[in-house]
Amino acid sequence: MISLNELPLGQRLRLVHIDGGRQLKQRLMALGISVGGELRVVQRRPGGVVVARSGNRVALGHGIAHKLLAEVIEP
């Protein structure tokens, strides 16, 4: 498992674990991000990353991106 901060751009991934409490998990679910969901890292910013899911893009700060652990999906 790798945090979102460490994944290369354009890589498809599956979210495996959220290293946070109930509030963080609820906030991410409201954005359409949940364990088992597929994401793609589309942009790296100085303060975090931008991920895409089902045509929507979400900017995540460095701290939150560090708490999201994922596995790479082979093409």
The domains of the chain are located at 2-72
The whole-number pLDDT of residue 52 equals: 94
The domain at 2-72 falls in which architecture? Roll (2.30)
Q: Say how many CA atoms lie within 13 Å of 2 toward its Cβ.
A: 13
The whole-number pLDDT of residue 45 equals: 84
The whole-number pLDDT of residue 11 equals: 87
Report d(CA 46, CA 39) in Å as an integer: 20
pLDDT in tens, 2-58: 999 888 898 899 999 999 999 999 999 999 999 999 999 999 988 899 999 988 999
pTM, 2 dp = 0.88
Q: Are 53 and 5 in contact (CB under 8 A)?
A: no
